[in-house]
Chain A
Amino acid sequence: MNEAPVSEADLQAYADGRLAPERRAAVEAWLAARPEEAERIAAYRRLAHEVRAAYETMLSEPVPPRLAQVAARRPPWRRVAAAVAWLALGVAIGAPAGWQLRPERTVTQLVPDSSLIARRAAIAHATYSPEVRHPVEVGADDEQHLINWLSKRLGVKLRAPKLDEAGMSLVGGRLLPGDNGPVAQFMYQSQNGRRLTLYVRTEASRNRETAFRYARENNVGVFYWIDREVGYALASADLSRDELLRLANLVYKKLEP
């Protein structure tokens, strides 16, 4: 017989009733010759049954009101969409000249300094994105070095999300001074030369999360958000708000652990 040897993984799958029939027969034959192992696997089966039985009542219990209430709310992204629409209306109505940073007020309460990240990101974008010869300190051809270097300086594990599917390829990155320590900036560019920067800084208060917010500083649009210990701001002067929002969603998705 040329059966593959029975592994511990086979035995676990057997205990869960998840083996294909032929393999199951092989495992059964194997166990038949080893009563101690057979007893161990039988005990796993009994335990699985008991564990399911022990927590079964949780399934039929009524859902506590506080949980049902969370689920009854409107998804926040609709609120963001509504806020963006409102902002667009504001632009149409007037005050186009030199208008200041405008964080979303309809989204969750802002901590005072959180919109600062948008301003800083916009300034950094405006400073470096027009550079032809030196837009970045370390180029994307040395991406691993870039990531390691910036991660080390910021003290968190950074990633430069791949945005190629959205037509944006990584140019590279640089280290910048920030309000509370070093900041990383990644630069992306489309084939027709439109540029996008991702500004990344560490946040003092951990475990905080915010929805996407939009701000505009002079000609630079910024979507920014905080995810636990890291704040992100995605800035571009070359993209529409909608394009930028799509990219912000993509960046966010790519950064999901």
Chain B
Amino acid sequence: MDEAKRLVELIPRLRRYARALVGERSSADDLVQDTLERAWAKLHLYRRGTDLRAWLFTVMHNVHVNRVRATRPVDPLEEGMPELATGGTQPDALLVRDLDRAISRLPADQRAVLLLVTLEEMSYEEVARTLGIPIGTVMSRLSRAREKLRAMMTGQPASTKLKLVK
């Protein structure tokens, strides 16, 4: 069936997002696996003609939230640092590692928004639907996530001015 095929094609994107979201390769693939299992079980609920990618990311988000609730969060810094392949057109390995670490330190809500906007290049509306939050919340989380990330990557304190922007 059509959806099944497209679902398979979306696996690399799910893996990329999961990897950035949970900060570690094997738990990322666990998350992808649970997501696929759940999506598979619920494929009959997917409405044809709507955005399968957005639906799938919603499933992943729900699975992720439940997993985080069910297990004590693991500090990725205690787990040894992650393993992202570098080389080719990639920026240097140190930058990748620092970025990965900085992203893992963002509050989970903000991280999800930042990654859906940046990695998945979803529209703000799509992000709002995927995460089930109002678009204003998407914008404020995006703004906070970026400022924190910038502060961590440049070693400067995050601008306090942003707190005035609701």
B132 to chain A, nearest CB (A): 6
Contact B41 A209 (CB under 8 A): yes
A70 touches B33 (CB 8 A): yes
Partner of A50, one of B13, B91, B136: B91
Q: A67-B32, A71-B40 are in contact. Are A12 and B142 (CB under 8 A)?
A: yes
The contact of B40 among A8, A9, A73, A256, by CB within 8 Å, is A73
Q: Are A257 and B44 interface neighbours, CB within 8 A?
A: no
Q: Are B12 and A50 in contact (CB under 8 A)?
A: no
> How far apart sit A53 and B19, CA to CA, in the bound complex (Å)?
13
Residues of A1-37 at the interface with B, using a CB-CB cut-off of 8 Å, are: 7-9, 11-13, 15-16, 18
| Contact between chains at A206 and B70 (CB < 8 Å) | yes
Report if A91 contacts B (CB, 8 A).
no
In angstroms, Cα B123 to Cα A86, docked, is 45
Q: Which residue of A lies closest to B140 (CB)?
A: A8
Alpha-carbon separation in the docked complex, A8 to B165 (Å): 7
Partner of A61, one of B12, B20, B70: B12
Question: Which residue in B66, B96, B103 is a CB contact (below 8 Å) of A207?
Answer: B66
Instruction: Give B97's nearest chain A residue, CB to CB.
Output: A54
B-binding segment of A40-48, A112-120, A122-130: A40-48
Neighbouring A residues of B70 by C-beta, 8 Å: 206-207
- Bound Cα distance A88, B19 (Å): 45
Residue B45 at the chain A interface, CB threshold 8 Å: yes
Smallest Cβ distance from A234 to chain B, in angstroms? 15
Tell me which residues across on chain A come within 8 A of B149, comparing CB atoms.
47
Query: Is B29 a contact of A67 with CB atoms below 8 Å?
Result: yes
- Whether B159 contacts A75 by the Cβ 8 Å rule is no
Asked if A59 and B118 sit within 8 Å, CB to CB, the answer is no
| Size bracket of the A interface | 35 or more
Asked if A95 lies at the interface with its beta carbon under 8 angstroms from chain B, I say: no
Q: Distance (Å) between the CB of B100 and the closest chain A CB?
A: 6
Can you name the residue of chain A whose Cβ is closest to the Cβ of B139?
A9
Is there a chain B Cβ closer than 8 Å to A89's Cβ?
no
Which residue of A13, A57, A209, A249 is within 8 Å of B90 (Cβ)? A57
Residue-by-residue, is B34-58 near A (CB-CB < 8 Å gives 1, otherwise 0)?
Answer: 0011101101110000000000000
In the complex, the answer to whether B40 meets A76 with C-beta atoms within 8 Å is yes
Q: Which residues of A200-257 are within 8 A (CB) of B?
A: 206-207, 209, 211, 228, 249, 252-253, 256-257
The answer to whether A8 touches B139 (Cβ under 8 A) is yes
Q: Establish whether residues B95 and A50, one from each chain, have CB atoms under 8 Å apart when the complex forms.
A: yes
- What residues on A are CB-neighbors of B132 within 8 Å? 257
Question: What's the Cα separation between A16 and B121 when bound, in Å?
Answer: 9
Q: For residue A59, which residues in chain B have a CB less than 8 angstroms away from its CB?
A: 12-13, 16
CB of A134 within 8 A of chain B?
no
Residues of B within 8 A of A60 (CB): 12
Residue B11, interface by CB 8 Å: yes
Q: Are B89 and A249 in contact (CB under 8 A)?
A: no
A93 within 8 A of B: no
Residues of the A chain whose Cβ atoms lie less than 8 Å from the Cβ of B29: 64, 66-67
Docked complex: A52-110 residues within 8 A CB-CB of B? 52-61, 63-64, 66-68, 70-71, 73, 75-77
- Say whether A249 contacts B45, CB under 8 Å: yes
Contact status B159-A47, CB under 8 Å = no
Q: B130 to nearest A CB, angstroms?
A: 12
Within the assembled complex, what's the spacing in Å between the Cα atoms of A73 and B33? 13
A71 near B8 with CB under 8 A, answer: yes
Question: Could you tell me which A residues sit within 8 Å of B by CB distance?
Answer: 7-9, 11-13, 15-16, 18, 40, 43-44, 47-48, 50-61, 63-64, 66-68, 70-71, 73, 75-77, 206-207, 209, 211, 228, 249, 252-253, 256-257
